[in-house]
Structure 1
Amino acid sequence: MTNILDKAKQWLTATFDADTQTEIQNLINNNPDDLADRFYKDMEFGTGGMRGIMGAGTNRINKYTLGRATQGLSNYLIKNVKKEQLKVVIAYDCRHNSQKFAKVVADVLSANNIKVFLFEDLRPTPELSFAVRHLGCDAGIVLTASHNPPEYNGYKVYWADGGQIVPPHDSGIIGNVNKLDFSEIKFDANEDLIETIGAVVDDAFVEASVKNGSLSDDIDRKNLKIVFTSLHGTSIVSVPDALKKAGYDDVHIVEEQRKPDGDFPTVKSPNPEEPEALEMATNLANKIGADIVIGTDPDCDRLGVAVRDTDGNMKLMNGNQTMVVMTDFAIQKWKNEGKINGKQFVGTTIVSTELVNDVAASYNVATKVGLTGFKWIAKMVRDFTDLQFIGGGEESFGYMVGDFVRDKDAVTATLLACEVAAFAKQNGSSFYEELLKIYVNNKFYKEHLISITKKGMDGAAEIQQMLSDMRNNPITEIDGEKIETLSDYNASTRKNLITGEVSEIDMPKSNVLIYQTASGTRIAARPSGTEPKIKFYFSVNTPLDKTENAEKVEAELDAKIQRIIKEMKLS
């Protein structure tokens, strides 16, 4: 507490404005626990940026932590990108203070003689990724906390290729940020270097989205009834327009959730992974007999999809299921056009379903697997220039179609999901039945995610201890199956627990552990990079002989997952 108090008192100096000083003094006088949480560590500028609760303090999102990050980025750009005029584009979402924070970031960049393109109002994150290359910028920044609770905000950095920063730029920028004192931030804007942008970039982005997300000319789009919800987020400015331009006329928007609002008043969490977030949309779908429901998170990079099952009930797909169906559809379209020649690939991540690998292989398409996070899929596009990128996804409800955007993109993915549904409907099938066909042709894969929240200093220590226990005292058997391999991405090793053989994992280090049995049962554990949580991913599979048995097989796999959770004492 002595160190924390010393750190806090630095925020009572003239470097910080009067409101900040007052907030800190009140905490010193009245709330030592909150003070400790705000100062026990610095807000980490991680390998993509920052995300956290808003407020004064080193462990909060505020003018000074964002200013320090931007000053560090500016210093790195000036030193490493040898151009007469550096350029950065900035976007922001619907969250509280996002617009104000975006202007602070623009001020700091311009004070460092960097040209800034600042969107006039909120815009989707994928449009920011698109705008980086469209405007020939050296970097991009978006102010967003994605699907986190209302008290959060965040800051993501993109490089000139439109993807989030990866090695060597991530560590280089972090190094520049970490050695800065708050007194070194240049806040005095050069307004001549800040240019407001809007409709021209919007039109180009939507046009590119329709081009990439509309994969066939022989689809009856007018016959698909769609319910769409923006969950009070940024997608309302792009998705309806994109659907209309693509030819989808029968689109019904959840009006109660249309208006952007950082309080997200109609949902507990603005996360389309949660069934409750799409409840209003599925209720509307049932009322009007819609075929498909699409919901997007606040910054419009993730999408939730609900479709009708074989009994006609609305069923929320998980991210793995959506990814598999859309990947299969996209590859089929490439094949039908004679474009599959062994020089194509799809992208996925280490905690996503292995079914996508099997689907791609059945078409002679390679699968590249990276660490969790779309920046690694974007890096694949840049690294494998001798191959064509078809699409890529991850279990956390993100998908990217083509490479015109270099991040998960709910605008174009919405179009692709609707393409699947419309094409299936006109051919006597459905989105869900297409998924069942994939299961029959491969195996029925079932995944499940558990997130355990551990807040504050003690919580962070608990999360690290849980991972340490799993690493140093590995599980050897689960639900009657022997664990065959333990992959430790922090140590870059994969150990066969039966033979003792150890092999190297050729990926950047990451604090992820994956247990796998010979039958393909997988358990993965990793700390969240954006919230005080540890995440456990479960994947089980078994053959499916015919679609009529899908419900029975799914129940068996669900029961297996629950047994594993109970055995690991996570329930």
Structure 2
Amino acid sequence: MSLLDKDTQARIDSWLSSEYDKDTVSQVQKLVDNKEETELLDSFYKELEFGTGGLRGIMGVGSNRMNKYTIGKATQGLANYLKKQFPNQLIKVAVSYDSRNNSQSFGHLVADVFSANGIHVFLFKELRPTPVLSFAVRHFDCQSGVMLTASHNPKEYNGYKAYWNDGGQLVEPHDKNVITEVNAIQSVDEIKFDRVEANITLVGEELDEIYIQANQRLSIHPEAVEAQKDLKIVFSPIHGTGITLVPKMLEAWGFTHVSVVKEQAKPDGNFPTVVYPNPEEEDAMSMAMKFGQELKADVIMATDPDADRVGVAIPNDKGEYQLINGNQIGSLLAYYVLSSKKDKGELKENDYIVKTIVTTNLIADIGDDLGVQTYETLTGFKYIGELITKEQGKGTYLVGGEESYGYLVGELVRDKDAVNSCAFIAEMTAYFKSQGKTVFQVLTELYVKYGFYKEKLISLTKKGKAGADEIKQMMVDLRKNAPKTLGGIAVKEIRDYENQVSNNLISGETTAIDLPKSDVLQFVTVDGDVISARPSGTEPKIKFYCSVKESLMDKSQYEAIQAKLEQKVENIMADIVKN
């Protein structure tokens, strides 16, 4: 029996027509001739859709793959939508790309389609980080922007992040409306591929300087940087775009001792020195950590291919280098920014910070203690960007982030920014060092003051259509048979963000969740532990998050409490994954 349903077969047949170029037809025909039904099903069972990170998929032929036609169709659909949203206006878009295989050619393809539609394109001459694209949208007063990147995904992936006129990624209703326009395109002949050179302006290093100078003006303690300008910093771009701006930013900030990991300095879409170019992974950070140990670095940082995420390693009290996770980095940045501004008398009544629903509550504790409001959004930095735009003129965004290693200080862009974050992490390290403290010591002090938080993330990869169906079923099963206990601890509250309702299992009280619908379930135990289940919007994964907390009375208890919390997390995770 064939795996291919009627709709999938129809898509395959259409891709074998003369609408498509000979090479594409040949590749599809080869899959058909070889009866590679699983590959055909995964490649054609649906159209690529916008998730939390836009359009993202494996490169290759097919409606569910990243290629000339899916990218062309997405761009034509976006162009059609822009024309409807901004009638009788000169429409401008910014287009950039990272170091991934095909990113540059895809970027030029996107520029071609926009230009052919009479839209003016600001096209970057060379690869640049995602946050610089967001900055460019705002700087050039564009209505939209596109970044060609698959962020930290494996090398076979590429992606298409679409931005609106505020410099933030597409959110409702625009994301769904663009998909409607894309789906309305019935034929490849409707896609305008012929470049109009007059509609393209190339963007060079002149924008780098504007971006760097704007970030420099955000510096809180330039005097600490001056005092610690020889701070030993090790940086790796992990073969990505970070090399274009992170060293320049740190140098402009005033740091004179920045050492780049040479083996990972050159942009390369094959990411030859790592399994995954993801600074969340210990493997991806190992080369930078080894180099940092040799140099006795004060701080080690590494960015992902499009430089919107940054991983960090620091020396602990034993002089050993250890990775700190995204929740810890975000908490440290929040504490540094808020406490510094409070000490300088610069905090204002309407200042605020932002975290996502799966990010540590330590950030909110810090905000509450220092008198700054904490907003919470759905997972995905596009929601933080949306909130910053919504609050513009009413309040001032200071700092925010998510557990997946993405942060932003200040309002210059509407996306996570590892270039900006690297500068502030370095400044924070310098400031604490000038006070005679290490970053690790400050982190421990936060745990003593606010409670020892311990988090863990488990990602289960489920590839292809079968995997997507399995993930869907896992969420259905969790809703139908919600666990009553996790790790031996009673569950007191279930938050269902898809149905926008929270149920208190003890009181029986039901309350509405005032956030957009999202396929996320959260279980809160009687101990206050928060366990979340969420299908990824950008990868074929289902993610389970766990955050637990216990009092830390004294620094001397650090290792004992950490071990206790680690065991608690393991017990909880064993239950939630089993469920």
Q: TM-score range by the shorter chain?
A: over 0.9
> Where does 1:98-497 land on structure 2 (aligned, <5 Å)?
98-183=103-188, 184-213=190-219, 215-219=221-225, 220-385=227-392, 386-497=394-505
SS at match of 2:179: helix
| Distance in 1 between residues matched to 2:319 and 2:433, nearest whole Å | 13
- C-alpha RMSD of matched pairs (Å): 1.3
Letter in 1 for 2:507: T
| Distance in 1 between residues matched to 2:9 and 2:31, nearest whole Å | 10
User: Which residue is equivalent to 1:498?
Assistant: 506
Quick check: 2:135–2:413 contact (8 Å CA) kept in 1? yes
Q: Flag the 1:389–1:531 CA change in 2: closer, same or farther, 3 A.
A: same
Quick check: 2:495–2:522 contact (8 Å CA) kept in 1? yes
Letter in 2 for 1:221: Q
Quick check: 1:144–1:155 contact (8 Å CA) kept in 2? yes
| Distance in 2 between residues matched to 1:383 and 1:2, nearest whole Å | 44
Letter in 2 for 1:565: M
Post-superposition shift, 1:469? 1.1
| Distance in 1 between residues matched to 2:52 and 2:284, nearest whole Å | 29
Which digits, 9 at most, give the CA deviation of each residue in 1:89-119, with x for residues without a partner?
Answer: 0000000000111111111111110000100
Question: Which of the residues 24, 27, 33 maps onto 1:23?
Answer: 27
Post-superposition shift, 1:173? 1.4
Letter in 2 for 1:192: A
Does 1:542 find its partner at 2:550?
yes
SS at match of 1:316: strand
Question: Please, what TM-score do these two structures have when normalized by structure 2?
Answer: 0.97
Quick check: 1:48–1:166 contact (8 Å CA) kept in 2? no
| Distance in 1 between residues matched to 2:450 and 2:404, nearest whole Å | 22
User: Which residue is equivalent to 2:569?
Assistant: 561
Post-superposition shift, 1:570? 4.7
Quick check: 1:227–1:254 contact (8 Å CA) kept in 2? yes
Quick check: 2:378–2:515 contact (8 Å CA) kept in 1? yes
Which digits, 9 at most, give the CA deviation of each residue in 1:357-384, with x for residues without a partner?
Answer: 0001101000000000111111111112
Q: Flag the 1:8–1:500 CA change in 2: closer, same or farther, 3 A.
A: same
Quick check: 1:141–1:157 contact (8 Å CA) kept in 2? yes
User: Which residue is equivalent to 1:508?
Assistant: 516
User: Which residue is equivalent to 2:16?
Assistant: 12
Which digits, 9 at most, give the CA deviation of each residue in 1:124-163, with x for residues without a partner?
Answer: 0000000001111111100000000000000001111111
Post-superposition shift, 1:251? 0.9
Which digits, 9 at most, give the CA deviation of each residue in 1:50-107, with x for residues without a partner?
Answer: 0000001001000110111111110111011134310000000000000111111111
Question: Please, what TM-score do these two structures have when normalized by structure 1?
Answer: 0.98
| Distance in 2 between residues matched to 1:570 and 1:518, nearest whole Å | 20
| Distance in 1 between residues matched to 2:99 and 2:75, nearest whole Å | 21
Letter in 1 for 2:333: M
Post-superposition shift, 1:465? 1.0
Quick check: 2:59–2:67 contact (8 Å CA) kept in 1? yes
Quick check: 2:357–2:376 contact (8 Å CA) kept in 1? yes
Identity of aligned residues (%): 46
Question: Which of the residues 64, 72, 88 maps onto 1:67?
Answer: 72
Which digits, 9 at most, give the CA deviation of each residue in 1:21-70, with x for residues without a partner?
Answer: 11011011012221111111111233652000000100100011011111
Letter in 1 for 2:282: P
Quick check: 2:334–2:363 contact (8 Å CA) kept in 1? yes
Post-superposition shift, 1:557? 0.4
| Distance in 1 between residues matched to 2:63 and 2:556, nearest whole Å | 56
SS at match of 1:218: helix
| Distance in 2 between residues matched to 1:456 and 1:425, nearest whole Å | 49
SS at match of 1:405: coil
| Distance in 2 between residues matched to 1:470 and 1:116, nearest whole Å | 46
Residues matched between the structures, number: 571
Which digits, 9 at most, give the CA deviation of each residue in 1:268-290, with x for residues without a partner?
Answer: 11100011111111111111111
Larger mean CA deviation between 18-27 and 171-180 belongs to 171-180
| Distance in 1 between residues matched to 2:58 and 2:435, nearest whole Å | 48
Letter in 2 for 1:23: Q
| Distance in 2 between residues matched to 1:569 and 1:405, nearest whole Å | 37
| Distance in 1 between residues matched to 2:417 and 2:162, nearest whole Å | 16
| Distance in 2 between residues matched to 1:438 and 1:119, nearest whole Å | 42
Post-superposition shift, 1:175? 1.4
Post-superposition shift, 1:533? 0.5
